[in-house]
Chains A and B, each alone.
Chain A
């Protein structure tokens, strides 16, 4: 015998569910077997223990921080944190406005200061230079031979800036040692400073700041071209200054072009370290400089981005900082899981109480939704580095109730159809048609809320919104591919189809009797108490009208008919009219 439409539909749904489950668990298994991930979802810091800082950028003036600048800031903070030897630090931006730094353990004061410090870009002229390791004691200049300043310095390149003490310090300065320190020296912009250039492995004494990084209006990179506009085949970094910067830079280049040796160079410093120390080949009058040299595409891009970042020095303010003890995190996770299990158990008991055997369908659906959610979180943790936070756990627990909701909407619908006198197989189909729309509309509201929450989220709201949205999707998958197909199949079993008392879909319990009682017998038309009523004229058989009037006449309690009653009455009557006719008893106007 060919399968009926609903059975085929049900089998297709269940097949799809199996396909999804197998695909997801296959993916996760593959990840675990290849040692790329673990079975357990990744945990956020509030469950795992560690330090989380949420930093807000502080910008000079009214300028806004763009996502690009924030990304640059993240890159710089990452370099600084890595430099301190903290491993596994995660630095991300959030909502395009904050930077979140998460790391295991407790960072010391210095690391914290380092993270908050602003990137400080400045242009200083080079006064003198040397190889970047400390000059061996033996070959250092004797005290009496160190040239002492003879006058007040006339400009920033003037050697009169170099005092005897500064020169001694310079000779002893060892760049590899200094750069390894987590703290970068905060140099006074009005005084000369010692600085290192990791690219060329030189150390310099540089003069006071002549152009601050904030005077850069833009930076880009590309192929350099010569005066005829032909490409020279060399990568170059283009630099643009604002009006004030252009004036200052022209004065600098005018002086530097005439100078020789180290004094021909100007150093671009970021956080006290030299990014680049180009020589000045020409006077730059229009504020558009081009830096050429042995750039690769990559190093040109890196420098141009750093320069661009220098146009907006961002320092950070710690908005919130948490050092979460691993003990507390473990406790909270354990308690969260216990709360979830208790919640699940209560929902299971309530469902069994309300829906009897059908409650098992709810429980099975919840378990499958749970498996889907678990797989999704574990896979997202692996591929997207999603970490489950306590708020996320709360979202999942709350979702137990919201998931069970859609089953209740569906079951109640099916019950309504049973009350209207439909047999279970038909009630499941018509009930589903109505319930599906309601479920889709209400889940759309849920998802919308989750998406809005996720987008505007600050702090741990995000984890909650994420799991809420994830579980809403899991719920939709389960209700479409499991709950409904299961009901379609169960409706064909004896236990459910014949309305066993414990099935939860017992029509007698629901106040409806099947019309056909078996052995060619039909039940009597139901006489529903009715009051003042209708003059409905919707084409019902005249028999139905006749008995409907009788029914009304018989009513004594004055209650009015409801739509459902009226509908049932009509259905019953037309059914019995047909039955009467067929059983040969005859009818008024058959």
Chain B
């Protein structure tokens, strides 16, 4: 497609340029609004839709059912455990799910057997899950530990690689933005928060920083000798780097999102709830948000962090002077 290639060429040469750094205040305000919404919306909604792993309880999945009526499932649970309120749902074509409060071992076995009779499937088609009440806490605690360890390590890694802590700070701030906004959207979707979703979130961390490293590498290259010329300010060069890597950013996020979208589609429409669906939704949203955050938050934030430095200010003044010394043009 020549026009897209031409677009890429123009971005590379700077003939076409989008004001990512110039309009950063606007992007930052939009980001802050989104972050605020991502925090406020789940609170208004009354928190996340926590999955069984966080609430504790029993869950049964019946595959290849002959009918998808809800009533037989409810009857079975009431017959075995009269005090337990069952939630029976048809989660995918041919798949039913029954969730209850915690059942005893004997009750679990008996419910599983009755369910296979009620839905006309062999006993081997019934999956039962029992989760203790502290399991979710364990998972989230470990996830939080992982988050902190990863952020600390990656901050050090980036500071070493780029030889400036300001890139690390910009990257990590952007990372938090990505996680918060993704969590907000996840909450809005009303998908259940399961350990799989948590894995998805942790993976986003990796993707978000991966993407940032690629763009920051270009920024570093472009700003290496910024002080030796008076044509562009530091911010100009950062902006050029974002524009020059724009095609790459679009292409990489496209190829990252395509397989995830395919898992999301298969997971959500053909399998119903489960590992694939929850994982892929978190990833799907996260990859898109991460790509946007690199362009609109992390890179402009880095330019902002550097703008206070004396050397950057001096150079900007020299650029201004040099531009004014040129005769006015038509």
Enumerate chain A interface residues (CB-CB to B < 8 A): 46, 49, 54, 56, 95, 106, 108-109, 112-113, 317-328, 331-332, 335-336, 338-340, 342-344, 346-347, 350-351, 353-354, 390-391, 394, 397-398, 400-402, 404-405, 408-409, 412, 415-416, 419, 434, 437-438, 441-442, 444-446, 448-450, 452-453, 455-461, 464-465, 468, 509-511, 528-529, 531-536, 538, 555-556, 558-566
Contact = CB atoms under 8 A, between A and B. Distances in A.
Given A347-B255, A468-B203, A405 B130 contact: no
Contacts of A415: 8
Contact of A412 (B64, B142, B247, B279): B247
Contacts of A113: 105
Contacts of A46: 275
Given A327-B64, A416-B244, A563-B240, A344 B259 contact: yes
B125 A325 contact: yes
Contacts of B213: 438, 441-442, 445
A511 B9 contact: yes
10 contacts: A108-B109, A327-B122, A335-B270, A342-B262, A346-B259, A442-B210, A445-B209, A455-B149, A460-B275, A534-B322
A562 B127 contact: no
Contacts of A434: 221
A445 B127 contact: no
B42 interface: no
Contacts of A350: 251, 254-255, 258
A350 B253 CA distance: 12
Contacts of B63: 325, 327-328, 331
A455 to B, nearest CB: 8
In the A-B complex, the 5 residue pairs with the closest CB atoms: A343-B259, A562-B14, A449-B206, A401-B256, A511-B9
Nearest to A555: B329
Interface residues of B, number: 102
Interface string B237-270: 1001000110110011011111111110111001
A535 B12 CA distance: 22
B163 to A, nearest CB: 12
Nearest to A342: B262
Contact of B283 (A317, A398, A560): A398
Contacts of A321: 129-131
B205 interface: yes
Contacts of A511: 5-6, 9-10, 12-13
Contacts of B125: 325, 327-328
A351 B255 contact: yes
Given A405-B256, A442-B210, A339 B266 contact: yes
Given A408-B251, A448-B154, A561-B231, A346 B262 contact: yes
A401 B258 contact: yes
Given A106-B109, A343-B261, A461-B195, 20 more contacts: A320-B130, A322-B128, A323-B129, A332-B274, A335-B276, A336-B263, A343-B260, A347-B259, A350-B251, A401-B260, A448-B154, A449-B154, A456-B143, A456-B145, A456-B149, A464-B203, A511-B9, A511-B13, A528-B13, A562-B15
Contact of A394 (B127, B214, B263, B329): B263
Contacts of B61: 325, 328
A236 to B, nearest CB: 42
A49 B124 contact: yes
B214 A409 contact: yes
Contacts of B330: 556
B314 interface: no
A24 to B, nearest CB: 24
B91 to A, nearest CB: 12
A253 to B, nearest CB: 43
A562 B222 CA distance: 11
Nearest to A512: B9
Nearest to B64: A327
Interface-central residue, A400, A437, A452, A468, by most chain B CB under 10 Å: A452
B240 A460 contact: no
B67 interface: no
Contact of B228 (A343, A468, A538): A538
A464 B199 contact: yes
Contacts, number: 301
A359 to B, nearest CB: 11
Interface of B: 1-2, 5-6, 8-10, 12-15, 53, 61, 63-64, 105-106, 109, 112, 122, 124-132, 134-135, 138-139, 142-143, 145-146, 149-150, 153-154, 157-158, 161, 195-196, 198-199, 202-203, 205-207, 209-210, 213-214, 217-218, 221-222, 228-232, 237, 240, 244-245, 247-248, 251-252, 254-263, 265-267, 270-271, 274-276, 279-280, 283, 287, 322-323, 325-326, 329-330
Contacts of B146: 452-453, 455-457
A394 B264 CA distance: 10
A318 B203 contact: no
A410 to B, nearest CB: 10
Given A324-B127, A449-B205, A342 B266 contact: yes
A405 B64 contact: no
Contacts of B279: 391, 394, 464
Given A323-B112, A394-B279, A109 B105 contact: yes
Contact of B231 (A326, A400, A404, A534): A534
A406 B237 CA distance: 24
A459 B195 contact: yes
Contacts of A464: 199, 203, 279
B258 A398 contact: no
Contacts of B198: 461
Given A346-B258, A415-B8, A456 B142 contact: yes
Contacts of A448: 150, 153-154, 157, 206
Contacts of B106: 109
Given A353-B1, A398-B283, A531-B329, A419 B259 contact: no
A332 B283 CA distance: 19
Nearest to A389: B275
Contact of B322 (A340, A452, A468, A535): A535
Contacts of A325: 61, 63, 124-127
A238 B326 CA distance: 93
